[in-house]
């Protein structure tokens, strides 16, 4: 599996135009810092007009999921220590360290929950994402607070939004979190909202805070509602993004599984930024690759659109991963941002 992932990363970076020096730097980081903790579902995410290779990993050890460590907390501290020693440029773990204990089980909660012997489907609590940029590596931390809330008997949405509101304090002067909470509490997404929280591992005041929800309704009326927070966001930027989003929605084959969404905020941001994931499990990959290529040409990225299908073929030959979904985001500054998600290992389909 590692050899295949190594070859896949090298192929993706080559197709994205990384220099040999940048490829060596990123591959060495992957080998020394990620492979020892590689879980069952490594993912690579090509994204944007200037492609950046992204890898996500859930650290595990030999005792993860056993009675010794049923909730997979044993590797996290060692993994963070390894990152601190490596010290990628700009890396700062303070924000992750702040939210980590607020969103994950402590020792007492682990023991209490384990003693109940309940059937719990999702046991993960932490994962990490790495953008392997030609000029360096950026780190993102993810927490999954559902177990913490289940053990404490607390509402997931309130706990996660509340923890971010508490951290922001007066810095949330535009009340972006209030906008999110007001909308979520009126929708069917409330029960699952906050099932993932994410931040950038950079200087805290520069970090984004991402709060994830999910829904099974992919009708255009629901997608429009999610994008605008039920009409709470009405700006030229949001409306322009909505136009781009509708064209993409029309072109893409969309699955019927629950799909994630996230709202992104940071200190000083006037309105939340919305990102929507479209599920592609079990659909015709080639049709969706061609739909993405068509969409890139539609929005004026002719070079990327014309090359996209062949780049995918060249990068993923002999691997045949299953496409999982595609993310859509838009801002005036960056334009349309698409990220395609797929499972990169045949051993764990």
* φ/ψ (deg, to 5) at 225: -65, -45
Stretch 51-72: mean pLDDT, rounded?
86
**Which is nearest to 270 in space by CA: 243, 227, 238, 245?**
238
The predicted-structure confidence for 101-130, as pLDDT tens digits, reads as follows 999 999 999 999 988 888 787 788 999 999
Q: Cβ atoms within 10 A of the Cβ of 92, count?
A: 16
User: What is the rounded distance in angstroms from the CA atom of residue 54 to the CA atom of residue 339?
Assistant: 10
CA–CA distance, 321 with 344 (Å, rounded to integer): 5
Percent of the chain with pLDDT over 90: 44
SS3 content of the chain, % helix, strand, coil (to 5): 45, 20, 35
Contact criterion met (CB below 8 Å) for 174 and 269: yes
CB 2 within 8 A of CB 35: yes
Structure tokens at 169: 């304090």
Express as a percent the part of the chain with pLDDT over 70: 89
Of 12-16, 74-78, 141-145, 211-215, where does mean pLDDT reach its minimum?
A: 12-16
Look at residue 50 in the predicted model and tell me its pLDDT.
62
Residue range 127-172, pLDDT digits in tens = 999 998 888 899 999 999 999 999 889 988 989 999 999 999 877 7
pLDDT in tens, 299-328: 998 888 898 888 888 776 655 556 778 899
What is the predicted pLDDT for the residue at 234?
92
Question: What is the average pLDDT value for the chain, to the nearest integer?
Answer: 84
What pTM was estimated for this model as a whole?
0.80
Q: Is it the case that residue 49 has pLDDT exceeding 50?
A: no
Name the residue among 42, 107, 100, 49 with its Cα closest to residue 301. Answer: 49
């Amino acid at each position: 599996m590692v050899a295949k992932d190594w070859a896949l990363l090298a192929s993706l970076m080559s197709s994205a135009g990384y220099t040999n020096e940048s490829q060596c730097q990123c591959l060495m980081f992957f080998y020394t810092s990620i492979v020892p903790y590689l879980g069952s579902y490594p993912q690579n995410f090509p994204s944007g007009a200037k492609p950046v290779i992204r890898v996500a990993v859930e650290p595990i050890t030999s005792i993860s999921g056993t009675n010794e460590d049923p909730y997979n907390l044993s590797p996290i501290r060692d993994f963070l220590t390894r990152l601190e020693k490596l010290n990628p440029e700009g890396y700062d773990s303070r924000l992750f360290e702040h939210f980590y204990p607020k969103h994950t089980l402590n020792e007492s909660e682990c023991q209490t929950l384990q003693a109940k012997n309940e059937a719990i489907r999702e046991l993960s609590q932490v994962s990490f994402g790495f953008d392997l940029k030609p000029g360096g590596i950026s780190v993102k931390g993810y927490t999954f607070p559902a177990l913490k809330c289940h053990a404490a008997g607390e509402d997931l949405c309130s706990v996660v939004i509340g923890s971010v509101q508490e951290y922001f304090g007066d810095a949330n002067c535009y009340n972006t979190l209030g906008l999110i909470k007001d909308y979520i509490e009126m929708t069917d997404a409330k029960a699952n909202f906050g099932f993932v929280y994410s931040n950038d591992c950079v200087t805290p005041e520069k970090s984004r805070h991402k709060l994830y929800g999910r829904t099974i309704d992919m009708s255009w009326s629901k997608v429009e509602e999610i994008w605008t927070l039920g009409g709470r966001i009405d700006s030229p930027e949001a409306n322009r993004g909505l136009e781009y989003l509708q064209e993409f929605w029309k072109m893409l084959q969309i699955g019927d599984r629950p799909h994630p969404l996230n709202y992104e905020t940071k200190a000083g941001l006037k309105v939340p930024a919305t990102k929507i994931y479209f599920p592609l499990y079990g659909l015709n990959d080639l049709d969706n690759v061609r739909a993405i290529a068509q969409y890139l040409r539609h929005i004026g990225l002719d070079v990327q659109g014309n090359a996209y299908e062949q780049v995918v073929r060249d990068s993923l030959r002999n691997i045949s991963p299953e496409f999982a979904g595609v993310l859509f985001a838009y801002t005036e500054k960056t334009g349309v941002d698409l990220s395609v998600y797929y499972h990169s290992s045949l051993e764990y389909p």
